[in-house]
Amino acid sequence: MIHTILWAIYFILYLIIVSPMRAYYAHQIKKGNREKVQAGVDRMVHNWAHRLLWMAGAKVIVDGKENIPQGTAVFVSNHQSDFDIPVVLACVGQPRALMAKVSLAKIPGLRSWMDLLQCVYVDREDEKQAVRALMDATRLVKSGVSMTIFPEGTRSKGGPVKEFKGGAFRAATSAKVPVVPVTIDGSFHLLEERYRIHSGTVHVTIHKPIETAGMSRQEVRELPERVREEILSVMDDAYRGA
């Protein structure tokens, strides 16, 4: 329990301590100077996410970093735990925009940083809002911003990987950018029931990009299951099933 309390204190204190810098970055972006401050935003978000994992006692092993494309891409990952967010921010290339559940935007101090990353919030209980969120994500990717999406829509918590929702892939196929499958295995061990932090090992596999430019309609329809199977290819059979 002490471990969990210390982790929570760090989570909050870091957001408070860096709030002046966050305000400066937000001001510069509002003035149209995003390129001037983006490297600083990425560095601070990476450091914060990395320390959250370190304080949780997480050992993250990453394979396939060479598969990260140089240009714009949509990274698609399975979703085992809330710890998947610091995992992708700290360990899968530079931090990038997330398609995140709207409840995260309600955490004090966190939304301001997520806004700096140009995250898109989705409320899966509100169909119209979810459609607008997908449109926002598509516009963002078309503008050249890479994004990470968890197409299961909810955490599997160590159970079978759920069905991948096709709408989550629209940003990639509309912008004709590669989809990069990412497997996260073990993050659910870090966060037990009742939000108790526990140390553990997380294995991350970054798979080869799948080009979407030139895909037929049939290939687009098959893309969610193709990516899901790629992610499952390095996981135990227990994770299969929808």
144: which DSSP letter?
Answer: T
Q: Where are the beta strands (DSSP E) in the chain?
A: 58-63, 74-77, 97-101, 120-122, 147-149, 179-185, 191-192, 196-197, 200-206
User: Which residues touch 155 (CB under 8 Å, ≥6 apart)?
Assistant: 79, 80, 81, 82, 84, 188
Contact 199, 95 (CB under 8 A): no
- Closest to 75 measured CA to CA, from 205, 235, 214: 205
| Amino acid at position 66, single letter | E
Residue 213: what pLDDT?
94
pLDDT, residue 58, reads: 93
Q: What is the CATH number of domain 2-239?
A: 3.40.1130
The letter for the amino acid at 67 is N
Classify 179 as helix, strand or coil: strand
Report the candidate in 43, 38, 12, 11 with the shortest Cα–Cα distance to residue 26.
Answer: 38
- Give the chain's residues under pLDDT 50: none
Q: Where are the domains of the chain?
A: 2-239
For position 76, what pLDDT does the model report?
97
* Nearest C-alpha neighbor of 176 from the set 69, 21, 26: 69
Q: What is the pLDDT of residue 194?
A: 58
Q: Which residues pair with 120 in a beta bridge?
A: 99
